[in-house]
Amino acid sequence: LADSLNQESQQDLQETSYEILETGVDGDVGEWNNPSDNAYGDFKVENTQYVEELQTTCRDFTQTVNHKGKKEVVKGKACRDS
């Protein structure tokens, strides 16, 4: 669903995700909205942990995208490059 967003909505999604991953604490939610594309969503940091075998910090997240009446929820893990 995120692939069907226009360029502005994709940028909003990327910027919100990046900001929350960089500055948020567990439980923080960043929201974005683009009325011109009828798209909106949020990005939530669920859990932050240090992963010893990777020797880096990783964050579990949930990303929600709503576009033209459809909803997509993606759960994932983002790890900082060492």
Phi, psi of 51 (to 5 degrees): -105, 105
As given in the structure block, the two tokens for residue 32 are 């974005």
The reported pLDDT for the residue numbered 10 is 94
pLDDT, position 4: 85
Q: What is the pLDDT along the chain (82 residues), one digit of tens a residue?
A: 778 899 999 999 999 999 999 999 999 999 999 999 899 999 999 999 999 998 999 999 999 999 989 999 999 999 988 6
Short-list 71, 18, 3, CA closest to 41: 71
Give residue 81's pLDDT: 84
| Radius of gyration in angstroms for the set of CA atoms belonging to the chain, rounded to a whole number | 14
Please give the Cα distance from 44 to 19 (Å, whole number): 11
Q: Which amino acid is at 4?
A: S
